[in-house]
Structure 1
Amino acid sequence: VFVQVSFLVGLCYSVVGLVRLGFLTKFLSHSVISGFTSGAAIIIGFSQLKYFMGYNIPKSEHIYESIYHLFKHLNQFVWYEFIMGCSFLIILLAMKQAGKKYKKLSWMRPLGPLTVTVLSILLVWAARLDVSPGVKIVGHIPAGLPPMTVDLWFPMPYFEALMPVAITMTAVGLM
């Protein structure tokens, strides 16, 4: 599905470029762009909450349902995953702010994600957090790229469901 959405987004970008529709973004007010971006940030934030809380929060079309599930399953809260998530988020934000505030530390901004990734791997490995408390890890990642096959793109049984997502992603990219 992800490959198909990526293909459709590329197709939408190509159509926008060929028909020269990029100028339409000039007619969008700052309030519209800001509201759209803020809404997207809230949706993305809620989709990532399950990793901080340590339990699954089902996806929903309505934000109030996600909030309901967040509090309904609060008894499944995993404190060590929450502490790890918050700690690494603080490190990310601190490195970003330090790089922004102090010119001599500007090298820290792009290294934030790499630093957090390496630190989290070392912490889980050294403290054996994947075994003892059971921190969920990605697991085995196969080497190399998956084989290129046409069946990843076609047929598209969910074309009607994927096209609005692709158009939205194209619109966000243009903003």
Structure 2
Amino acid sequence: MPVLAGEHGTDWRHAMESPLLWQAALQQFDIGNRLTDIPDNVSVIPGPRTQREVHLNVDGKVLVCATSWWNTQQISRYLGETEKPIWISLSSQRTEIFREITQLYYGNSPDLEKRFGHKGPFWGREYIFWRDRQPLSLIHEIFSPALEQYLGPLKL
């Protein structure tokens, strides 16, 4: 599946840039300096923090669930149009970033099967966006196996 192998998610990003293909369901809320019940690596993002949750949908099917954590004072600087996917906001501003993948996931989960309405296994990844040697955001993404319908079969 090219989405995981492409440089900076290129294949997925280009497939999803058309507003006709995607809809994002978005929640965004401040979590202050709290570090409980969230990934350990969130601690690299200076507080206070904002948590952003997005489901990317195609034809009414959830294909990607993503959660990101940002410094509350910086999020509006980088994501002016918060209703759009992160890469669209960052690329429209030509923001130079470095992505450090910190975790890869592959497995089954009854909770994810309910969320996606699809049987696993599921791929996931966690990464930190760095800008000017400073952590900008931690992003956690889970991909539905239904992506194969759009991008071709997964090859391990």
TM-score normalised over the length of structure 1: 0.22
Larger of the two Rg values belongs to structure: 1
Q: Which has the higher strand share?
A: 2
Highest relative contact order (Cα 8 Å, sep 6+), 1 or 2? 1
